[in-house]
Structure 1
Amino acid sequence: MIREDQFLISHKPYAVDLGSLHGSRTETPQGRNDYYFDGRIAAVWFRRRKGVTVACIGELWDLQYPEPATACTFLEQHEDGRYGADCQGRWDGISYWGNVTLDEQERHLTILRPMLAKYPAIPPGYDGWWRF
C-alpha cells in the first residue's frame, strides 16, 4: 500500500488505526517459509453506493512472511488490493448496515456518524490515507 496525504475517493483510500495490528502465525508444511502471518488492521473508508457517499468500518487483512515489525511495514508490504477490506459496518447518514452485536453497532456509529458528517476528514486515532 502507498500512503497519500491527499484524499481522492477514486483511489479508494483507507484510514487505519496503526495501534490495532494483530494476527497469528500459521505453520506451513510446504513451501520456502515455515509459517505465514495472518495480519489484520482496523480501517475506515468512504465509498460511493448508488450515488450516495457512505462511511465504512472494518479490517484490512493480508498473509505475509516474514511477520512485519510495525503496522506501517504491514501496510507497505500489503500489495494485493483486489479484495479490499472486510466491511463490518456501513453508515449512509440515514441507516446502518452490519451483522454485528448491538454494542458493536453503537461503537461503529460513534466513529461513522462524525466521519461522514466531516467528509473527507480522517477520524481521530486513524492514519491515512492508504491506497493500493
Structure 2
Amino acid sequence: MIREDRFLISHKAYAVDLSSLRGAVTPSPQGRRPSYFDGRINAVWFRRRRGVTVACIGTLWDFQDDDPADGRRFLERHEDGRYGGDCDGRWDGSGYWGAQNLETVAQHLTVLRPMLAAYPAIPDGYDGWWRFA
C-alpha cells in the first residue's frame, strides 16, 4: 500500500489504526514456504453508495511471508487490494448497517458519526490515507 497525504475518494483510501495490528505466524500447509503471517489491522474509509457518501469501519487483512515489525510495515508490504476492506459497520448519515450487537453498534457509531460529519478528515487515532498501488 502507498500512503498519501491528500484524500481522493476515487483512490479508495483507508485510514488505519497502526497500533491495532494483530496476527500470528502459521505453518504453511502447501509447503511452498515454511510459514506465513496471517494479519489484520483496523481501518476506516469513505465510499459512495448510490450517490451518497458513507463512512465504513472494519479491517484490512493480508497473508505475508513473515511477521512485520509494525502496522506501517504491514501496510507497506500489503499489495493485494482486490478484496478491499472487510466492512463491519457503515453509516450514511441516517441509517446504520452492520453489527447486531448493540454495544458493537454503539462503538461503531462513536467513530462513524463524527467521521462522516467531518468528511474527509482522518479520525483521531488513525493514520492515513493508505491506498493500494
Q: TM-score, normalised by structure 1?
A: 0.97
Q: Deviations over 1:92-114 (max 9, x none)?
A: 00000003411011000000000
Is residue 74 from structure 1 mapped to residue 70 from structure 2 by the alignment?
Answer: no
Give 1:28 deviation, angstroms: 1.3
Give 1:70 deviation, angstroms: 1.1
The residue correspondences of 1:1-132 to structure 2 (distance < 5 A) are: 1-132=1-132
Number of positions where the alignment pairs a residue of Structure 1 with one of Structure 2? 132
Q: Does structure 2 conserve the Cα–Cα contact (< 8 Å) formed by 1:88 and 1:100? A: no
Distance in 1, matches of 2:98 and 2:30, equals 37
Q: Which runs of no fewer than 5 residues in structure 1 stay unpaired?
A: none
Distance 1:100 1:59, change over 3 A: farther
Q: What is the aligned-residue identity percentage?
A: 71
What amino acid is aligned across from residue 15 of structure 2 in structure 1?
Answer: A
Q: Which runs of no fewer than 5 residues in structure 2 stay unpaired?
A: none
What amino acid is aligned across from residue 110 of structure 1 in structure 2?
Answer: T
Q: Does structure 1 conserve the Cα–Cα contact (< 8 Å) formed by 2:25 and 2:35? A: yes
Distance in 2, matches of 1:100 and 1:42, equals 19
Q: How large is the Cα RMSD of the aligned pairs?
A: 0.9
Distance in 2, matches of 1:100 and 1:128, equals 28
Q: TM-score, normalised by structure 2?
A: 0.96
Q: Does structure 1 conserve the Cα–Cα contact (< 8 Å) formed by 2:36 and 2:64? A: yes
Give 1:24 deviation, angstroms: 1.5
Q: Secondary structure at the match of 1:121?
A: coil
